[in-house]
Structure 1
């Protein structure tokens, strides 16, 4: 029996779609991240019960941090984007969260910069608040150790490929790290939207892409670029096609990042059938009904889609590009990841 709803909601389901194909399905993935981070802060004395935790969110992390704060007796302040919908706003209000939403913006970079700027203003006025920095602080890795243990215990022994959105780095990067520490051979495949600076695609825009959680128009400092073996850049049309096909084939109703990961996984399986593929479904599809699933008639047959293999970031192009990340870096491409010092 669980002591709190956050503990019950966080555990993922491992769903076998084929003998070598597994979906790691979450109701909301970032609860692991938020719970692990808040617990660490309390245990280290960085915060105490009753303190206020603040962060920026496009939606999923807001719910996760709100539940973590409820679990541990903290106050919560969220600066949210316009993608925080009414269903989530009402939940946050009842949970006692202070929610501010920035003005609508057609530009993802501006939206994220406005949120960060507003957090700076709030912290100046309230220096006792603790900024969680989900995009920058490596404490968000800690909670995912449990996820890696679940995979290691339930997925048969042998080489793995873990496929999912790069996000803040505290999901695929963390799970891959802990699986490798457990002795599993892991190929880590990261999924990115075009326009994200995280792996250098900011020069290729995709105005339809609405899954900011897997990439960013601002620098994410807790992404450890050296962990990744392959990177796929997927646009809205391809992600939609993957999500629709996943629902049709398996009944799994998940977000657009899952559609992109499923599409990517099927292509990677065709390249290399020597390992078990685990792809991440980070959230459900409910908030994408109007913006994506309602357009299901536009979905393409994913077997007809294939990525453009690149050797330089200058070759990136729609609708889907991919590369061996270590090979691209070794080729002398001028792009360099941010140099940061993270707390471990």
Structure 2
């Protein structure tokens, strides 16, 4: 199993720490980050007997986890069905299908507020008919546990980490990396990045033009008490950030990596004595026809002069200003921060499993 993991990582998710400017800034550059949780979830299931050679795996994903699972399931010879939406573009859909998976797209716009619930319902209907096994990326503890190796590599290459900046979707990478890194650096700050219309940190559900981070459900792998500060970025800010990352570093990555870059760079410039590590989860391959297409950017009204270049400090998550804003979370629970204003949304798991990480 260990040799297979090394081979998959070497091919799809090589662990590299990239030094950036200013000198106190670096990034852990994953390319296809979801290979780590996909492998750990499947391998753990095989070891426990919950997954067998003839098991059909199902998952809901907007693309990245789908690709990670397709890569891993192909190596293990497992059948895979992905329930996604139109955020999975045709080239990515073809790639996943060529690896042997089947992709089912719900009939909804990728930015609809309820698209994840529609995907989940389609998945549950399929499970009722077939008896398939759900890998449950949002509340499977193996998601968080999969980031021990990346955390070890980050510490080995970068040394002490004062601030980690990570985008948040399932909560697996941000909370998993923070958990392992804080075993060595207890005071390390964790800065999470969300987007408007996402319910992860207290905002009401709404249209999300920016995909790849944020969520319309509350995942069980999201440990709110792990976060020191939360930033919200709009789609235009993240798209322009991806271009800025490319121009300033030569790294051509997706908008979630761009979002991590601009927030981490803001921190590094503001606190020059702190070593800041950004988490880059995605490459640019699936964004060549939109985010990196000048005609698409122009036609959709995304303009660099309209993008916020500094975060606005807000007094409460329920009242965002749009563009780019931030809030001092101070390692509190969602209920402590929100009081009676917790958004009504369907979650995958009622409690967080991160307290049981070992």
Please, what TM-score do these two structures have when normalized by structure 2? 0.86
> Structure 1 residues 214-223 or 85-94, which shifts more?
85-94
Separation in structure 2 between the aligned mates of residue 202 and residue 332 of structure 1, nearest angstrom: 11
* Structure 2 residue aligned with 1:235: 234
Q: In structure 2, do the counterparts of structure 1 residues 160 and 327 end up closer, same or farther at CA, with 3 Å as the change threshold?
A: closer
Separation in structure 1 between the aligned mates of residue 337 and residue 136 of structure 2, nearest angstrom: 33
* Structure 1 residue aligned with 2:49: 45
Residues matched between the structures, number: 338
* Structure 2 residue aligned with 1:92: 96
* Structure 1 residue aligned with 2:170: 168
Q: CA contact under 8 A between 1:239 and 1:256: conserved in structure 2?
A: yes
* Structure 1 residue aligned with 2:200: 198
* Structure 1 residue aligned with 2:213: 214
Secondary structure of 1:326's counterpart equals: coil
Q: CA contact under 8 A between 2:172 and 2:222: conserved in structure 1?
A: yes
Counterparts of residues 291-302 of structure 1 (less than 5 Å): 291-295=290-294, 298-300=303-305
Instruction: Extract structure 1 runs of 4+ deviating beyond 6 A.
Output: 327-332
* Structure 2 residue aligned with 1:286: 285
Q: CA contact under 8 A between 2:155 and 2:161: conserved in structure 1?
A: no
Q: CA deviation at 1:119?
A: 0.6
- Please, what is the CA RMSD of the aligned residues? 2.5
Aligned partner (choices 51, 60, 64) of residue 60 of structure 1: 64
* Structure 2 residue aligned with 1:145: 148
Q: In structure 2, do the counterparts of structure 1 residues 301 and 83 end up closer, same or farther at CA, with 3 Å as the change threshold?
A: closer
Q: Can you list the C-alpha shifts for 1:263-322, whole angstroms capped at 9, x where unaligned?
A: 1112222332232111111111222233322247822498x7211101212331111110
Q: Can you list the C-alpha shifts for 1:115-143, whole angstroms capped at 9, x where unaligned?
A: 1010110110112x110111222221121
Separation in structure 2 between the aligned mates of residue 184 and residue 225 of structure 1, nearest angstrom: 17
Q: Can you list the C-alpha shifts for 1:14-46, whole angstroms capped at 9, x where unaligned?
A: 110132111211221100111111111111222
Aligned partner (choices 322, 325, 328) of residue 329 of structure 2: 325
Q: CA deviation at 1:2?
A: 6.1
* Structure 1 residue aligned with 2:351: 340
Separation in structure 2 between the aligned mates of residue 160 and residue 316 of structure 1, nearest angstrom: 27
Please, what TM-score do these two structures have when normalized by structure 1? 0.90
Q: CA contact under 8 A between 2:113 and 2:207: conserved in structure 1?
A: no
Q: In structure 2, do the counterparts of structure 1 residues 341 and 257 end up closer, same or farther at CA, with 3 Å as the change threshold?
A: closer
Secondary structure of 2:32's counterpart equals: coil
**Structure 1, unaligned runs of 5 or more:** none
Q: CA contact under 8 A between 2:87 and 2:110: conserved in structure 1?
A: no
